Amino acid sequence: MIVRPMQSWFRMLFIWNGSVLQTIIPQLILLGLLSTLAVFTHGTVFGEKIPLSPASFTLFGLTLAVFLVFRNNASYARFIEARTAWGNFLIAARALTSQILSYVPGRENRELKLLLANEIIAAAYALKHQLRGSDATEDLKRILGPQRARAIQDKAYVPVYLLKDVRNRLAHLCQTADHGSIRWMLDTQINEMEKCIGACERIKSTPIPFAYSVLLHRSVYAYCLFLPFGLVDSSEYLTPVLCVFISYTLIALEAIANEVADPFGVAPNALPLDAIARTIERSVLELCDEDIPAELEPGSSYQLT
């Protein structure tokens, strides 16, 4: 995710890091060359005039804009749902840790309670790696130790397995009938964390239907490719400037929608899962009165991973 202070209106015009411009420059150069060619040939191809008018592009442009709005809204809805799930995971992790420390019997079990807190943290990191398809071994070794990390690294759903272990350990600590209400309270928070994991898995495994992406991609590029021939008679030498600007708007919107539609990726506009997992770790360890790691900060490109 791009995190940078708000700039003045003038500096916003020239911002490079954080925009999708750097990823679509080849397309804009190609469309600029095509527009220049249309100006020099007066809108003809192989000697034949292409009979296009600005009015037809206005009507088609309105339809394309509506479709782009639909696509961006669908992508942003996935992004917000994913961020909400991780926010709820953080809330449940804090609540569960606090309840373990306050209500689970046996003050002599502080080491066991700290182990439970570490498994909660490890579940957050394991979920991050599961969603990104990366290797969680190093994070699990750092949090749980090499032996425990090796024991669970081959599991298909590591975060769920870790929460099951937390539930089993808590059931052992609260095994008498007098602790029934405590077990119910703790289990509620574990269920909430499992719901968050399920929500993230649903988003990850259910992308926006591919046909929508193909249709939008073809429509945007078809519009941009024919646009110079519809504007050349009325705009003349300004045609390349207008075409590149309009193409930048449409192609950039499509690129942003593609990035936001995958909120768990590593694109500049995806969720900063590294920072969110670190926040969960810091919060849980602070409740346990343990030393906390430093908070992650955006890099030189203003990107927070």
pLDDT at residue number 67: 85
Query: How does pLDDT run across 180-189, given as a tens digit for each residue?
Result: 788 888 999 9
Q: Across residues 7-29, what is the average pLDDT?
A: 79
**Longest Cα separation, the chain:** 91
Residue 252: alpha-carbon gap to chain centroid = 17
Using CA atoms, how far residue 263 sits from 65, 149, 173, 216, 267, in Å, is: 23, 27, 38, 20, 9
In the structure, what pLDDT confidence band is assigned to residue 195 with cuts at 50, 70 and 90?
Answer: very high
In the structure, what pLDDT confidence band is assigned to residue 21 with cuts at 50, 70 and 90?
Answer: confident
Return the domain boundaries, the chain: 9-287
Query: What whole-number percentage of the chain has pLDDT above 70?
Result: 94
